[in-house]
Amino acid sequence: MTTTVEAGTATAAVHFDQVSKSYGDVRAVDGLSLELRPGETVALLGPNGAGKSTTLDLLLGLRNPDQGSVRVFGLSPRDAIVAGRVGAMLQSGGLMDEITVRELVKLACDLHPKRYPVADVLTRAGIEALADRKVNKLSGGQEQRVRFALATAGANDLIVLDEPTTGMDVSARQAFWATMREQADQGRAVLFATHYLEEADEVADRVLVLHRGRLLADGSSTEIKARAGQRRIAFDLETVDEQVKEKLRKLPFLSSIDISAETVRIQSTDADATVHAVYGQGLYPRNLEVAGLGLEQAFVAITAAEEAKTA
Ligand SMILES: Nc1ncnc2c1ncn2[C@@H]1O[C@H](COP(=O)(O)OP(=O)(O)OP(=O)(O)O)[C@@H](O)[C@H]1O
């Protein structure tokens, strides 16, 4: 990806230095350090309760850290927002019900120091046809599009999105990500939290995996998949009786095995040795395939390994 960085914006878009935040006994964010650069599209992944929303809240100055510091373009989050450098699309937060979509978008544009024309914002979010509708008459997916419009009402340098495509249909999602790619190509940093791992895989240059408030993995999607250190094996067998199942379950280096009719699917930490052992057991696999993990499987493997360590 080509990245255009304006003179004077070489400072990190986001800098977290040893940041912690607890709610009572729950340590939601635990000594988190990370840096995001202009032009990067970064996916923030993690199981429920991993601390994603809290991280975004800290980044947006909606909560203060108990320890550590958060800087956005070298400023405090609040100053960065007041300077119009950050646009955000959050999961929660009601939209003002009694006004129309156009009025709401106009309000957001008027408040932005580097505002775009209202018509452009409506077009980019694909909501021109909804412009005269009252905000409280929108479907869930339409509301998300309006939130997206509010986040892009002006020229921000950082766009923060919390599960942005929840409720959007396929075409809305595609349009949404195409726009986000354009924004990143223009040198903006885009950070989004998501549970849709295919989206993270397709869209993000960089993936952060949070677990219990700590950063468990940080790299490209390819690096994260390789880091899981496992591969998928799939094959068919002529017959699968109890004796064969017993042999399959005893194969070395298995992390998981799924036997469905004559098809066997395995996740292995040493695929070569596992396949060798299949033949060693006198089995003759057909349609044998060995492949790396998908991002979703890698995510599950990485977080499960961490759970096992901390159990
Ligand atoms: N206002 C709050 N008061 C008390 N505990 C909270 C509060 N907000 C979050 N928590 C707790 O902090 C932890 C992190 O929550 P957070 O919402 O940041 O996680 P998340 O990764 O965004 O989760 P999800 O994927 O479910 O949205 C969880 O254990 C959660 O229960």
The ipTM of this complex is 0.97
Strand order across the 86-89 sheet: 86-89, 158-162, 189-193, 41-45, 206-211, 214-219
Ligand 1 atom closest to the CA of 50, numbered from 1: 21
Q: What is the pLDDT of residues 116-172, one digit of tens each?
A: 999 999 998 889 999 999 988 888 888 888 998 998 899 999 999 999 888 888 888
> Ligand 1 centroid vs 304 CA: distance in angstroms?
19
Phi-psi region of 94 (alpha: psi -120 to 50; beta: other; left: phi over 0): beta
> Ligand 1 centroid vs 49 CA: distance in angstroms?
5
Residues whose beta carbon lies within 6 Å of some atom of ligand 1: 23, 26, 28, 46, 48-54
Amino acid 103: pLDDT: 94
Task: Using the predicted structure, report yes or no on whether residue 183 has a pLDDT greater than 90.
Answer: no
Question: What is the residue-averaged pLDDT of the chain?
Answer: 90
Amino acid 225: pLDDT: 87
Share above pLDDT 90 across residues of the chain, in percent, rounded to a whole number: 62
The Cα-based distances of 121 to 136, 184, 236 in angstroms read 20, 17, 53
Q: What is the pLDDT of residues 203-250, one digit of tens each?
A: 999 999 999 999 999 999 988 888 888 899 999 999 999 999 999 999
> Ligand 1 centroid vs 16 CA: distance in angstroms?
19
Instruction: Name the pairing type of β-strands 254-260 and 263-268.
Output: antiparallel
> Ligand 1 centroid vs 200 CA: distance in angstroms?
21
Ligand 1 atom closest to the CA of 47, numbered from 1: 25
**pTM score of the predicted model:** 0.82
> Ligand 1 centroid vs 44 CA: distance in angstroms?
14
Q: Whose CA is nearest to atom 18 of ligand 1?
A: 51
Residue 193 near residue 163, CB atoms below 8 Å: yes
Q: Which helix (H) or strand (E) holds 94?
A: none
Per-residue tokens: 96: 């003002």
> Ligand 1 centroid vs 52 CA: distance in angstroms?
8
> Ligand 1 centroid vs 21 CA: distance in angstroms?
11
Can you tell me the distance from the alpha carbon of 120 to that of 21, in angstroms, rounded to the nearest whole number?
38
Band (3; pLDDT cuts 50, 70, 90): very low
Amino acid 10: pLDDT: 56
Mean pLDDT, range 174-182, rounded to an integer: 88
Q: What is the pLDDT of residues 26-53, one digit of tens each?
A: 999 999 999 999 999 999 999 999 999 9
| Domains along the sequence of the chain with CATH | 14-225 (3.40.50.300), 230-292 (3.30.70.100)
What is the best residue among 30, 53, 191 to mutate for testing ligand 1's pocket, by most ligand atoms within 8 Å of CB? 53
What is the best residue among 21, 22, 25, 26 to mutate for testing ligand 1's pocket, by most ligand atoms within 8 Å of CB? 26
Task: Using the predicted structure, report yes or no on whether residue 4 has a pLDDT greater than 80.
Answer: no
Q: Whose CA is nearest to atom 30 of ligand 1?
A: 49
Q: What is the pLDDT of residues 59-85, one digit of tens each?
A: 999 999 999 999 999 999 999 998 989
Amino acid 2: pLDDT: 41
